[in-house]
Amino acid sequence: MKVFKNFTDYTSQKPLALSLGMFDGVHLGHKSIIDELIKIGSENNLETAILTFWPHPRFVFNPNEDLKLLNTLEEKKSLMNKYGIDNLFLKEFDEEFRNLTGEEFVRQVLIDKLNVKYLIIGYDHSFGKNKSGNFELLQKLSKELDFEVEQMEAINIHENNISSTKVRNALLAGNIKEANEMLGYSYSVSGSIVHGKKIGRTIGYPTANIETESIKLLPKKGAYIVEVFVKGQQYKGMLSVGTNPTVNGEKLTVEVYILDFEGDIYDEKITVKFRDFLHDEIKFEGLEKLIERLDEDKRLTEEFQF
């Protein structure tokens, strides 16, 4: 997959089958669009492309908003590559770009710069200044500018439309299985292992503290069953998102106890995949009660079938 940060770096070898949007999470709704792009591209000798924005336009419109994303940039690129996209455009949502009307965007960018011959948009997608671009405009312009346009229907699970917002809300409610079902994969968090307070090792549960990217959405505070990937190996783990209230912690941390593991992994890159929710964050009366709960969490994690 080729990645472009601006359109001037791109020279068209073949016309494109393209879709545009944020694709945050690259969930099953997004994958249905990608699968259709690949099918159309194969049938019509077109390369496939996704045009998305980085950073998220909401950071531009609402710089004080504490928006958290389902994917880091590297995660998004990895998923797009895995799903078979040929070209990924990561456009900065700058002042010039945000002032393009929907029609100007189609003419100046999609047709003149990218040579799009087939455009697929999601069921609720709009674009351009004041959201002036929509499916109706695309249908009108397609005849004049000689491209085809398709609007995908929403993908439903249990009679609910899948959306990035619904995935985000499920994670914030601790509904890991529901979120994973909408994503089509297990939600993950990656980062480097950093030094913590080292309290866990004094009670028989040494944890690895994960330093995550600030824009990455963390599920609700609580304990989780996770898959752990570190140094090329896979393990079961118990992960805590919270402030460690039992020992009067204040800073939000992400800590994982890795089952059947020993060794020094400070500064190593680690990825955890969330598989199930164990319980909300609890302030225990003392370390003895905390250890009892950790023992029970460990039993449940050992029994969990990955």
CB 266 within 8 A of CB 231: no
CA end-to-end distance (rounded Å), the chain: 30
pLDDT on residue 75: 97
Indicate if the pLDDT at residue 97 is higher than 90: no
CATH match of 174-303 with 2.40.30.30: yes
**Confidence category of residue 7, pLDDT binned at 50, 70, 90:** confident
Percent of the chain scored above 70 by pLDDT?
100
Q: Specify the DSSP element, H or E, that contains 25.
A: none
**Hey, do 2-157 and 174-303 end up sharing a CATH topology, with the first three levels equal?**
no
Residue 121 tokens read as 């948009």
What is the DSSP pairing of strand 269-280 with strand 188-194?
A: antiparallel
Q: Is the pLDDT of residue 295 over 90?
A: yes
Q: What's the rounded Cα separation, in Å, for the pair 147 and 220?
A: 45
Q: What is the pLDDT of residue 69?
A: 96
Alpha-helix runs per DSSP H in 153-285: 164-172, 176-183
**What would the mean pLDDT of 238-243 be, rounded to a whole number?**
95
Helices 176-183 and 164-172: crossing angle, nearest 10°? 160
Res. 180: pLDDT tops 90: yes
Q: Give the model's pLDDT for residue 257.
A: 96
**What is the band of 12 on the pLDDT scale with cuts at 50, 70, 90?**
confident
Q: Note the pLDDT of residue 247.
A: 78
Mean pLDDT for 92-116 is: 91
What's the rounded mean pLDDT across residues 26-39? 96
What pLDDT is attached to residue 70?
A: 98
- Look at residue 245 in the predicted model and tell me its pLDDT: 84
Pick the closest to residue 109 from 125, 94, 91 (CA basis). Answer: 91
Range 284-304 average pLDDT: 94
Whole-number Å distance between alpha carbons of 124 and 152: 9
Residue 118 in tokens: 């087939």
Whether the pLDDT of residue 41 is over 80: the answer is yes
pLDDT over 80 at 198, yes or no: no
Tell me the Ramachandran region of residue 246: left when phi exceeds 0, alpha when psi lies from -120 to 50, beta otherwise: alpha
**pLDDT beyond 90 at 158:** no
CA 207 to chain centre: 25
What's the mean pLDDT in 147-171?
91
| Mean local confidence (pLDDT), 87-102 | 89
- Average model confidence (pLDDT) across the chain: 92
Query: Domain ranges in the chain?
Result: 2-157, 174-303
pLDDT at residue 151, as a whole number: 93
Over residues 242-288, the pLDDT tens digits come to: 998 877 777 899 999 999 998 889 999 999 999 999 999 998 888 89
Residue, of 159 and 260, whose pLDDT is higher: 260
pLDDT at 246: 79
Three-state secondary structure call for residue 250: coil
Section 161-175 average pLDDT? 96
pLDDT of residue 26: 97
Q: Which long-range contacts (CB under 8 A, 24 or more apart) does 259-265 make?
A: 259/235, 259/298, 259/301, 259/302, 260/235, 260/236, 261/228, 261/235, 265/193, 265/208, 265/230, 265/231
- Report which secondary-structure segment, H or E, holds 104: helix 102-104
Residue 127: pLDDT band with limits 50, 70, 90: confident
Architecture of domain 2-157: 3-Layer(aba) Sandwich (3.40)
Mean per-residue pLDDT, 189-194: 96
Q: Is the pLDDT of residue 212 over 90?
A: yes
- pLDDT value at residue 154: 81
Calculate the dihedral angle through the C-alpha atoms of 160, 221, 240, 289, rounding to the nearest 10 degrees: -120
